[in-house]
Structure 1
Amino acid sequence: MNKQIKKSIGKIHLWLGLASGLVVFIVALTGSILVFEEEIDPFIHPEFYKVETVGKSRIPIDFAIQSLRKEYATDSINRIYTFNDPERTILVMGKNTKGNTFFFAVNPYTGKIVSSMEQKKHFFSIVNKLHRSLLLGETGKFITGCSCLIFIIILLSGLFLWWPKKLKNLKQRLTIKWNASFKRVNWDFHSTIGFYSFLFLLIIALTGLTWSFKWFENSLYYLMDGVAKKPSIKVANPPKSKLLSEETFFYQDIIDETNKIYSYQGNVQLRMPNDTINSILVTKENTERTIPNQSSIAYFDRYTARNIQIKPYESFTKGDKLRRLIYPIHTGSIYGLPTKIIAFLVCLFAASAPITGFLIWWGRKRKKH
């Protein structure tokens, strides 16, 4: 009976692997690249991240926004990213009159726009879309989500197949016989490294489901809060009032007020609403904490820059806090470089698994013939 069960699980493992192999390869390979996005992108585009000289004081970001509107025909500002690091540039995302989205790097000490890049041409934007949706939009997102579910089944069935019947065979399952034939080395690599990577890949795959399926995200909230995730809060903007005068620094006032509300060291992000109803959402990540992605929130009047509401990180529900942890866990950035290296290596193995698994199947098929 046990032999028959193992044979059936082996078939499930095989055919699910063959069916999802190409998608798993693409998602895992792009995932391994995205692990070190924060290290690679500044190397490729240093002008986007570092200023040549650190000045004595910063000038209001509004001067740069005015230049974007006049010189770059930027029709609307979508997001503004400011950083606690004195060497960092300010990043602005905006759309021009043709509807194309651009990233702009601004020197915070001079207000000069030092570089620009269209979002759809940015290397990591392309890799990220390939990773999440295979560049196929919502259809691709569904495909990668299903492949992620399949991959979890493959991991669990693989562990069952790896598990030795007798304790004396454990050492053999834990080592790779490098001096053996290619066929044996390939099998050892597939099964042994698969065992060592199992827990890490299972965590990465499970957290990855959060972006593909609402039911999985809701299950996290049920687990932590006992209720489903509440719709994202969008604080309504007060009725349109008198606009601030041109002499007032609108965006800089919002940034300064946020830093007064949350006095800890951190990076501030402004998100402009894409409608005429909601207010400006501002987040400030606390970089003083070891665990990343712990941000507090504030809402501001889109016409007067007046603070409407605040929501400190401490007031978040357990579900919200867990949701915030999903991204650093998924990318391996939760404990910095050590966990990033682990995530990078196991993602590379995951990318190789469909290949080594295919070679095992092909070798057995040829042997039968």
Structure 2
Amino acid sequence: MKGFKKKIGLLHLWLGLASGIIIFIAAITGSLLVFEKEIDSTLNPDYYNVSEIGAEKKSLDYCVDILQKEYGVKEITRISTFSDPSRTIQIVGKDSDKKVHLFSINPYTGKVQASTLQKNRFFAVVLEIHRQLLMGETGGIIMGTSCLIFVFMLISGLILWWPKKIKNLKQRLKIKWNASFKRVVWDLHSTTGFYSFFILLIISLTGLFFAFNWFQNGILYLADGNNKRPSAKIENPTKADPGLIKTDFYQSIFDQSDSLFLYKGNMQIRMPADTINSILVLKENTERLIPHQSSAAYFDKYTAENIEARPYASFSNGDKLKRLIYPIHTGSIFGLPTKILALLVSLLAATLPITGFLIWLRKKTKLK
């Protein structure tokens, strides 16, 4: 057992030193992203709320027409509407140079309250760092590998923390603040790691779900028992014909979706990035405690006719699990309490590479 722990200790040490800075970055950016909506809506209220709730909303096509005529938008990629009457409509579109812009529109007046390049948004940059270190696909591999290492670090750390004798368990559960600096650092590293172990393991494993296709496919296979899941895209049945496009195109899609799924919810209209697939609409049920429970509907991108409707209840276990991964990872699964918990453990995770490095540095100095 002693030899096993020694080998685990060496792996824990060197893998920790190799991935420490990446884990620190992931933890800090992750802690910021936990309260992204709350922070961003406070700093940039015009993107989220209107100053006065009107009697009647403008049609989505009216809002899109303003963007096309006054802001040079050539292609609409996403429209987000919200059940909260004080919320703005958010529309993402591309200009003639293919640059992606985010527009926040007052639904009662059609006025654009705020706009920016999507890539310039603060939290868009934070998310890019969190996922790919601003290094594209290579950064994604580095971040995903570091996340995999962190899972091992958590498990190996628990093995190293576990006392040889049960009578020593009590002292492992608390930090001895009046001890030497070396002991305090050791306690901070091991004790905080123990208390945050379970939540950090869940956050790390759900992070792997986003990082690696093989991990995602494996989890979904376990949930469904097979690899056969309905495609998230459906081919468009009609051919391109400008004469088919309706004048109330987007509003028609919104109204049909609202009628298909009668619960109160936020809606997102996603235009296909290719010439083959149809429009996807997701309506999230905001009456449910757990977020991201969205039904799906598909529409012809030329005629706005409904092609297929998929209520959330009809989704497979794998698809339902897939929609739970994001709120679990971000801590929004049960609202404010779990978000606070996710923030705290993310900040604790950021301290682990620091205290681990100090422990190694002191040992190295002592050996010299």
2:149 and 2:8 map into 1 onto residues whose CA distance is 13
Q: How does 1:167-182 map to 2 (within 5 A)?
A: 167-182=166-181
Deviation of the 1:241 alpha carbon: 6.4
1:266 and 1:362 map into 2 onto residues whose CA distance is 53
For 1:239, what is the secondary structure of its paired residue?
coil
Deviation of the 1:287 alpha carbon: 0.5
Note closer, same or farther for the CA distance 1:232–1:141 as it changes in structure 2 (3 Å cut): farther
Q: Could you list the per-position Cα deviations for residues 320-360 of structure 1 after superposition, in whole angstroms to 9, with x for gaps in the alignment?
A: 11111100000000011111111111111111111110000
The aligned counterpart of 1:8 is 7
Q: How does 1:126-275 map to 2 (within 5 A)?
A: 126-228=125-227, 230=229, 232-240=231-239, 243=242, 248-275=247-274
Q: Could you list the per-position Cα deviations for residues 198-247 of structure 1 after superposition, in whole angstroms to 9, with x for gaps in the alignment?
A: 00000000010111111111111211111126473321112236556888
The aligned counterpart of 1:31 is 30
For 1:281, what is the secondary structure of its paired residue?
strand
The aligned counterpart of 1:95 is 94
Q: How does 1:274-285 map to 2 (within 5 A)?
A: 274-285=273-284
Q: Does structure 2 conserve the Cα–Cα contact (< 8 Å) formed by 1:265 and 1:286?
A: yes
One-letter identity of the residue aligned with 1:288: E
2:109 and 2:244 map into 1 onto residues whose CA distance is 22
Q: Does structure 2 conserve the Cα–Cα contact (< 8 Å) formed by 1:269 and 1:283?
A: yes
Deviation of the 1:248 alpha carbon: 2.8
Q: Does structure 2 conserve the Cα–Cα contact (< 8 Å) formed by 1:218 and 1:229?
A: no
Identical aligned pairs, as a percentage?
59
2:100 and 2:35 map into 1 onto residues whose CA distance is 24
One-letter identity of the residue aligned with 1:167: I
1:89 and 1:75 map into 2 onto residues whose CA distance is 21
For 2:74, what is the secondary structure of its paired residue?
strand
For 2:175, what is the secondary structure of its paired residue?
coil
- Structure 2: where are the runs of 5+ without partners? none
The aligned counterpart of 1:58 is 57
Deviation of the 1:105 alpha carbon: 0.2
The aligned counterpart of 2:40 is 41
The aligned counterpart of 1:292 is 291
Q: Does structure 1 conserve the Cα–Cα contact (< 8 Å) formed by 2:92 and 2:101?
A: yes
The aligned counterpart of 2:114 is 115
TM-score of the aligned structures, taking structure 1 as reference length: 0.97
One-letter identity of the residue aligned with 1:51: V
Deviation of the 1:304 alpha carbon: 1.2
1:135 and 1:295 map into 2 onto residues whose CA distance is 30
For 2:345, what is the secondary structure of its paired residue?
helix
2:221 and 2:206 map into 1 onto residues whose CA distance is 15
One-letter identity of the residue aligned with 1:95: K
One-letter identity of the residue aligned with 2:42: F
For 1:172, what is the secondary structure of its paired residue?
helix
2:232 and 2:281 map into 1 onto residues whose CA distance is 13
Deviation of the 1:178 alpha carbon: 1.4
2:209 and 2:333 map into 1 onto residues whose CA distance is 17
Q: Does structure 2 conserve the Cα–Cα contact (< 8 Å) formed by 1:242 and 1:304?
A: no
- Structure 1: where are the runs of 5+ without partners? none
1:148 and 1:189 map into 2 onto residues whose CA distance is 21
2:241 and 2:248 map into 1 onto residues whose CA distance is 15
Q: Could you list the per-position Cα deviations for residues 41-64 of structure 1 after superposition, in whole angstroms to 9, with x for gaps in the alignment?
A: 101110000000001111101111
The aligned counterpart of 1:86 is 85
One-letter identity of the residue aligned with 1:155: L
TM-score of the aligned structures, taking structure 2 as reference length: 0.97
2:164 and 2:18 map into 1 onto residues whose CA distance is 28
Q: Does structure 2 conserve the Cα–Cα contact (< 8 Å) formed by 1:298 and 1:311?
A: yes
1:144 and 1:231 map into 2 onto residues whose CA distance is 29
Note closer, same or farther for the CA distance 1:245–1:225 as it changes in structure 2 (3 Å cut): closer
Q: How does 1:281-320 map to 2 (within 5 A)?
A: 281-320=280-319
The number of equivalent residue pairs is: 368
2:68 and 2:12 map into 1 onto residues whose CA distance is 56
1:307 and 1:107 map into 2 onto residues whose CA distance is 27
Q: Does structure 2 conserve the Cα–Cα contact (< 8 Å) formed by 1:221 and 1:229?
A: no
For 1:26, what is the secondary structure of its paired residue?
helix
The aligned counterpart of 1:340 is 339
